[in-house]
Amino acid sequence: MDKQLEKLISLHDLDVMIADLNRKEIRDKEADMGLKTEGALEELKELREAYTKSIARKWRGLYSQLTRHYGNAVVPALMGRCTGCLTRLPTAVCSDPERNSRVHTCPTCGRIIYWAD
Amino acid sequence: MESGNRIDAIEELLGILPIGEKTVSLLSGALEVREQVGATVVHRGIALPHCRSILVDKLAIAVGRSEKGIQWPDEKVNTIILFISPVKPNGPEEHSAFLSHIASCIRKSGDELVSAGSGDELFELLNFEPAKLED
């Protein structure tokens, strides 16, 4: 898998983690189970900032733009479709065994696409 | 479980899920980040590594027991309940509901979970039905 694609997926999961800890409902549940929530959010944000710097400016910019627009920048392809907008993706790309070896975007919504292994 | 440390234990449990090697590696990274900002020990002897990820399309759970115990990192745990919830458009409802379920099981039978003698007993206490993994 392309290293930049790996980093974009990880950044997305990190953003989900931050969003979850920002939700009072989740934070309360985790705190109720004895998990550390105080300070965790700030630490995650710091980690995110450092991690983002390791992503190429081009992809970092696209990621931010897509997140602002859709709320999610990276989506899996499923049954030949972008799961963000359900557009059918080009067959040549979907059938390529090396399809994750570069960053692909959906031709319709522009979201970053990956194929689960 | 065979693993002697947290990182290996997370990878060992991810390894029993029907997911590819690259997904294991990315999920392991995400779970380790969560552990770094706060270890997920939820009861004496029980760790609950968890996250939500776009890398799974349905709730994935793996439960492991370590006879010798695993340092996590300040205390030893011998029961590990790992779960990853999918990222869905309707938000973290499934994740939140599962957290509540686990919290309730631990409140009700935390000590029994630690001392459970078999996988079946553990699954019964957690109110899980073991899934048959596809080949």
Crossing angle (nearest 10°) for helices A3-22 and A24-32: 80
The pLDDT assigned to B132 comes to 54
Domain-located, residue B135 = no
pLDDT tens for each residue of B35-53: 999 899 998 899 999 999 9
Domain-located, residue B71 = yes
The pLDDT assigned to A45 comes to 93
The pLDDT assigned to A111 comes to 97
Number of folded domains in chain A?
1
Measured CA distances, B9 to A107, B28, B47, B61, B71 (Å)? 40, 10, 11, 14, 10
Q: What are phi and psi of A114, to 5 degrees?
A: -140, 160
Number of folded domains in chain B?
1
Residues 6+ apart with CB under 8 A from B127: B101, B105
Domain-located, residue B130 = no
Question: Residue B69 — very low, low, confident or very high, per pLDDT cuts 50/70/90?
Answer: very high
E strand spans, A15-61: none
pLDDT tens for each residue of B83-119: 999 998 778 888 988 988 888 888 888 888 888 878 7
Q: State the CATH number of the domain containing residue A21.
A: 1.10.287.1490
* Domain interval for residue B40: 6-125
pLDDT tens for each residue of A26-73: 888 888 888 888 888 899 999 999 999 999 999 999 999 999 999 999
C-alpha distance from B93 to closest chain A C-alpha (Å) = 10
C-alpha distance from A39 to closest chain B C-alpha (Å) = 8
Give, rounded to a whole angstrom, the gap between the first and last alpha carbons of chain A: 10
Tell me which residues of chain B have a C-beta less than 8 Å from any C-beta of chain A: 19-23, 26, 29-30, 33-34, 36-43, 48, 51-55, 57, 87, 92, 95-96, 99-100, 102-103, 106
pLDDT tens for each residue of A90-110: 999 989 889 999 999 999 999
**What is the phi-psi region of residue B69: left when phi exceeds 0, alpha when psi lies from -120 to 50, beta otherwise?**
left
Residues of chain B with pLDDT > 70, as a percent, come to 95
Question: Residue B131 — very low, low, confident or very high, per pLDDT cuts 50/70/90?
Answer: low
* Domain interval for residue A15: 3-114
Q: State the CATH number of the domain containing residue B23.
A: 3.40.930.10
The pLDDT assigned to B135 comes to 44
The pLDDT assigned to B31 comes to 96
Contact criterion met (CB < 8 Å) for A75 and B92: no
pTM: 0.88
Q: Nearest by CB to A16, from B52, B99, B106: name it.
A: B52
Domain-located, residue B66 = yes
Domain-located, residue B113 = yes
- Of B128 and A53, the one with more pLDDT: A53
Burial class (CB in 10 A: 0-12, 13-18, 19+), A38: exposed
Output the average pLDDT for chain B. Answer: 89
Q: Is the confidence at residue B128, as pLDDT, over 60?
A: yes
